[in-house]
Amino acid sequence: MEFRCIPDTLPTVLDQWDGDCLAVGLFADGDTPAAGQAEPVQLAQLAACLDPSLPGRLEQRRFKAKPGSCLSLERLDGTPQTLILVGLGAPADFDLAGLRQACAAASQAAATAGARHLGLAMPLAGLDGSAAARTMAEAARLALFSDQRFKGEPEPRNLPETVSLIGLTEDGQPSLAAVSATCAGVELARELVAAPPNVATPQHLADTAAALARDFGLELTVLERADCEALGMGSYLAVAQGSDLAPKFIHLTYRPAGTATRRLVLVGKGLTFDSGGYNLKTAGSQIEMMKYDMGGSAAVLGAMRAIAELKPAGVEVHMIVAACENMISGGAIHPGAIVTASNGKTIEINNTDAEGRLTLADALVYACKLEPDAVVDLATLTGACVIALGEEMAGLWSNNDGLADALLGAAEAEGEGLWRMPLRSSYKAGLKSPYADLKNTGPRPGGSITAALFLQDFVTPKLPWAHLDIAGTVWSDKGRGQDPAGATGFGVRTLVHWVCSGGLGLES
């Protein structure tokens, strides 16, 4: 899919448009005009240039221009053959998020219509041209993603060959250059999460990292079980010991061409399948969906794929994934067992289904030994976070205000929902154990907070660190916005934006 910016305004484009499909964003009826882009003006332009009966047809179809709504009109004569009207809602509420939603909906409608050359004409007044270009292109490409790798007979799909961003000057062109790399990273993450657990094994994650290292000149180290034993990773290996599949501790590194002034570490939870262990997941617990428990590792692998292609200057990036399965067998860890992490802390395992934090504990210790400027971990960690924030927002915990603000800003710029949650130290009392340094779970209330507090125990004090609980956001049953149903690739865009901004926020 090729993207291009067309600086002409909509009236000019209507006189000369030769593509087969044009999508135009319209504001809702009765709303105040916004910077000359109000719905009545655009509708009048369309009617004059394309079809005088258009206002009547919209009234007949009861098109109210609600956000994300689409109306496709086929024209038997003239160009474009397909006109797609996209609802934008109220002008006062329209922003980059609304632009993203509109372009995703329009692109899906265009694909359904079999369009080959799509034009996107959206109101851009008040929006940064570079950000708008990136938003429109990402929305168009990601909304049309379809994973058919495991179908015996893949469905034929006719996707647009070119997408023209109408009303954008060449100022937006540099942003378009980065879209392909970022979207490729998101698509990799989606494919990893969507793959069945008999395919996306720990070895598969290691092989994916090896392919990235080979294709993009990255450095790769994979620690085997014996290597992890030598480093004292008793917490991680306790989770892995119930599976017949060997654990893989993956360390992938990007080094810039010149001097690095920042060293950042991205850590992703890598449970390729989570049965719950002896605290077995029961009916209604979505055990059949626990292939997506490696959504954190998918996000950091996808981010590394994009970063490796974008080659940001001045920043060195390390990726850590402690990959394994959490299974039941005669050798699986017992509830009540006490294990020792690589920093010497002992952990009483009072719930084998709280396994992700056990793998992350040793991964975070390893990450901190790299002496980074900041560590960010992503994990499908707790159902409690889903209850608190739903399926469109991930939780953010951090010991550093500057880092937290930078991540929140990156998430907002990329259209990924992120909400800062409290690291309330008094809740740590719930992790006390009479026999070990701490338990791996606390009481049910505030479960996502105690999980974050558990992880903080394995981070070097005062080192800027952030934890993203993405349990609710890595999968969408029905699809939302630019994310079709299934794996979303959540977190990739936020991480890439943050890293390519140089790890901003660390000065605070």
Catalytic residue numbers? 281, 357
Angle between helices 401-413 and 492-500 (to 10 degrees): 120
3-state secondary structure 428-487: HHHHCCCCCCEECCCCCCCHHHHHHHHHHCCCCCCCCEEEEECCCCCEECCCECCECCEE
Longest CA–CA separation in the chain, Å: 80
Chain centroid offset of residue 372 CA: 23
155 phi, psi to nearest 5 deg:
-75, 135
Chain mean position to CA 17: 35
Smallest CA-to-CA distance from 92 within 35, 135, 15, 150 is with: 35
Q: To 5 degrees, how large is the angle CA 121–CA 124–CA 128?
A: 135
Torsion of CA 60, 64, 67, 73, to 10 degrees: 20
**Three-state DSSP class for residue 311:** coil
| Residue pair 204/164 in contact by the 8 Å Cβ criterion | no
Detail the DSSP E strand segments found in 106-151: 117-121
Length of the chain: 508
Residues 6+ apart with CB under 8 A from 124: 37, 99, 132, 167, 168
Backbone angles phi, psi at 175, to 5 degrees: -65, -35
How many other C-beta atoms can be found within 10 angstroms of the C-beta atom of residue 426?
Answer: 8
First-to-last C-alpha distance (Å) of the chain: 41
Is the separation of the CB atoms in 399 and 465 below 8 Å?
yes
Task: Tell me the backbone φ, ψ of residue 124, rounded to 5 degrees.
Answer: -120, 0
Q: Which residue has the tokens 């168009």?
A: 140
- The side-by-side arrangement of strands in the sheet containing 438-439 is 338-340, 346-348, 438-439
Task: Using alpha carbons, list the distances in angstroms from residue 213 to 255, 319, 378, 494.
Answer: 12, 12, 21, 22
Nearest-angstrom CA–CA distance, 235 and 446: 23
Radius of gyration for the alpha carbons in the chain, expressed in angstroms and rounded: 24
- The owner of tokens 């990292």 is 209
- Tell me which H or E stretch contains 114: none
Neighbours of 348 (CB within 10 A): 20
